Amino acid sequence: METSAALLCQMNRSLLLKILSAVIVFGAWEIAGHIPVSYGFPTFLESMSALVSMITDGSIFTAYLDTLRPLVIGLVISAFIGIALGLWIGLSSWFDWLFSPIFIVMQAAPLAALIPLLVLVYGIGLTSKVFVVCIMAMPVIVLNTSGGVRNAPSNLKEMGYSFLGTDRDIILKVVIPSASPIIFSGLRLGTSAGFIGAILSELKITPTGIGDIITYSRSIADYESMYAAIFSIIALAVCFLNLLERIERTLFGGNVRGYASD
């Protein structure tokens, strides 16, 4: 008892609880797999050993190469077009009127429903998958960028004008820097949506990469591999998004606090 209390003091409490929480969840998974709750529910350890064998024979890496290609291409396109459009919408009331409704509807609408149409138009290749990633990721990037630009603090803009800044100065030196934390979090949310789109397109359009492992192992009832593949893609997405969030915090942490005018 004493040693565990001492350990608790020594170790970071939140890290300990995170580990405890992971042990509980994975333990429950293991037990549920042993009961078993379902024919299609392997234990945690079985799934992990399937993951390890996929890693050792390298098949998971070739799969990720396929999966990440449309994701990366789509995200890069979405980031460039989305930020450019968002800046334009945020700065011009005419563009705001013209384009905002489209993206507001896109943000609320289940755009996944467009996939069958995209397949008809662009076939089952890379283009369709890139498109799916784009339509999922772009609305939030556009809306965050335009919102950040539109809501740039008016007191700072006023300050810029009173010190004789030109419109160009104000946009480059006040509006865009003050919007950049929101733009960045738009990119992070867009990436999250892009992951959803990339996997959706692999499951719906044609099974390639990770989607192929999932679909194929399900069809031959190799559920360990299926769970391993799903586990790995979720872990990858979560780790990557956490990394983005951490970058966001180091880049803009002080920035957000700085707005307090107390």
Partner 1 sequence: MDTHQTSNEHGVAGTPAVSARNISKTYGEVEALRNLTLEFPHGQLTSLLGPSGCGKTTLLKIIAGLLEPTSGEVEVNGRPVTGPGPDRAFVFQDFALLPWANVLRNVGFGLELRGMAASEREAIAEKYIRNVGLAGFENSYPHELSGGMRQRVGLARALAVDSEVLLMDEPFSAVDEQTRRKFQEDLLSLVAQENKTFLFVTHSIEEAVYVSDQIAILLPRPSRVSEIIRPQGLRSKDVADIRRHPEYLDIVDQIWDSLRSYVE
Partner 2 sequence: MKILGIRLPGMSSLILWGLLWEAVGQSGFTFFLPPLSEVLATLFAIIGTPAFQKALSETAQAFLAGVFSAVVIGIPVGILMGKNRWVDELLLPWVNIFLSAPLTALVPVLMVLFGFGMKSIIITTTLFAIWIIILNARAGVMQINRSLVEMALSFGASPWDAFVKIYFWAALPEILGGVRIGVIRAVKGVIIGQLLISIVGFGALFELYSANFLMSHFWAVLIVLFALAFTVSELLAGLERRVAYYAAKR
Site for partner 1 in 167-196 (CB under 8 A): 169, 173-174, 177-178, 180
> Tokens 């077009």 identify what position?
81
Q: Smallest distance from the beta carbon of 162 to partner 2, in angstroms? A: 26
At which residue do the structure tokens 């995209």 appear?
118
Cα separation, 161 vs 144, whole angstroms: 25
Q: Which is nearer to partner 2, 145 or 225 (CB)?
A: 225
Residue 79 binding partner 1, by CB under 8 A: no
Q: Smaller CB distance to partner 2: residue 41 or 169?
A: 41
Site for partner 2 in 174-193 (CB under 8 A): 192
Closest CA to 63 of 225, 243, 240: 225
Residue 164 touching partner 1 (CB under 8 A): yes
Rounded Cα distance, 235 and 179, in Å? 30
| Residue 253 sits in the site that holds partner 2 (CB under 8 A) | no
- Give me the least distance between CB of 176 and partner 1, in Å please: 10
Residues within window 45-74 making contact with partner 2, judged by CB under 8 A: none
Peptide bond between residue 36 and the one before it cis (omega within 30 degrees of 0):
yes
What is the C-alpha to C-alpha distance for residues 233 and 229, in angstroms, rounded to an integer?
Answer: 6
- State how far the Cα of 188 lies from the Cα of 149, in Å rounded to an integer: 17
Q: Which residues bind partner 1 (CB under 8 A)?
A: 153, 155-156, 158-166, 169, 173-174, 177-178, 180, 252, 254-262
